[in-house]
Amino acid sequence: MDPVSNLWLRGSLVNPYYRTAFRVARVPREVVRHRTLVQLVSQTRQLVETDPKAHSIGGLPVTSSEVNTAQQTLMDPQARILEELLEHATEKLPLEAIRKLAQEVAQAMDAEGALSNPDIKPLELLAPTLIREFLTAVPGTGPSFGAVELETPPPFGQEEE
């Protein structure tokens, strides 16, 4: 497959954003591990072969042929990367930092024995610092890696996503 042919013109003026390889194959954009990819595509193929109407996009059933083409795209690293231009990256709420903040506050309250000792002055001093750290430390969205990724997803052959 020519990875640099026009992504937006695939033989007709059909909107290219509905039937991307990711949507057709039901593979999240964030999946990079080969084994997982093959597994998901296989499941989709089985689904459409068993029940042609089980997987539809915009009211039109996805065909086996489309799944095959999508698989070709996703298995070709360059074509797959370019296909990501057409697919939204996953976004997640930056909750981890809030949870961490809540945990630290709870720990600080336990350590101070808040229920038995009303003096929580040290916690008052700590809390704004924690909050300021949180507000400035929330990272921006990784443009291709999707959500607030704190680590690079593992390469092929290593850990599951």
Partner 1 sequence: MTSKPSPGSLLIDQAIAAVDDAQARSHPYRGWEALQARDADGNVIGLLPYTESALKDFEAAHRWNPEDVGVAHHLAIAHHAQAWDLELSGDSRAALAWKSALKYWRVVQNSSEFWVALEAKLGTCSPGADLGPIREARANLMEQLLAVHVEFIRHYCELGEAQRGNFHIAIIQEAQISPAVKKRLTQGVFAAMTASVAEAKTSGHHDSALVSIERFLALFSDYLPALRMHVEVTHAWLSTLSWQHEWESIQQLHHRASAPAAALAGHQALESDPLAWPALEELTFEFILRGFERGWSRFQDGESGGAIRRDEAKAALEVVHHWGRQAAPRLPAGSQALDALVGSLVVHGELLRQEAHESCRNVTDPRRGLTAARTLLEKAVQEVDEAGRFAGVNSDHLEQIDGLRSVVQGELASVQAQITRLDMGWIR
Closest by CA to 67, choosing from 42, 86, 34, 84, is 42
* Among candidate residues 35, 143, 6, the one with its CA nearest the CA of residue 84: 143
> How do strand 60-61 and strand 56-57 relate by DSSP bridges?
antiparallel
- Report the half-sphere exposure of 44 (CA within 13 A, side-chain side): 27
C-alpha–C-alpha distance, residues 8 and 116, integer Å: 66
45 binds partner 1 (CB under 8 A): no
Q: Is 86 in the site for partner 1 (CB under 8 A)?
A: yes
Residue 38 or 123 having the CB closest to partner 1: 123
What is the spatial distance between Cα 46 and Cα 131, in angstroms, rounded to a whole number? 50
Should residue 23 be labelled a site residue for partner 1 when binding is judged by CB under 8 A?
Answer: yes
**Least distance in Å: CB of 46 to partner 1?**
17
Sites for partner 1 among residues 96-115 (CB under 8 A): 97-98, 101-102, 105, 114
* CB closer to partner 1, 46 vs 56: 56
Where does this chain bind partner 1 (CB under 8 A)? Answer: 3-4, 6-9, 13, 15-18, 22-23, 26, 32, 57, 77-78, 80-82, 84-95, 97-98, 101-102, 105, 114, 120-121, 123-124, 127-128, 131, 134-135, 138, 140-145, 152-153, 155-156
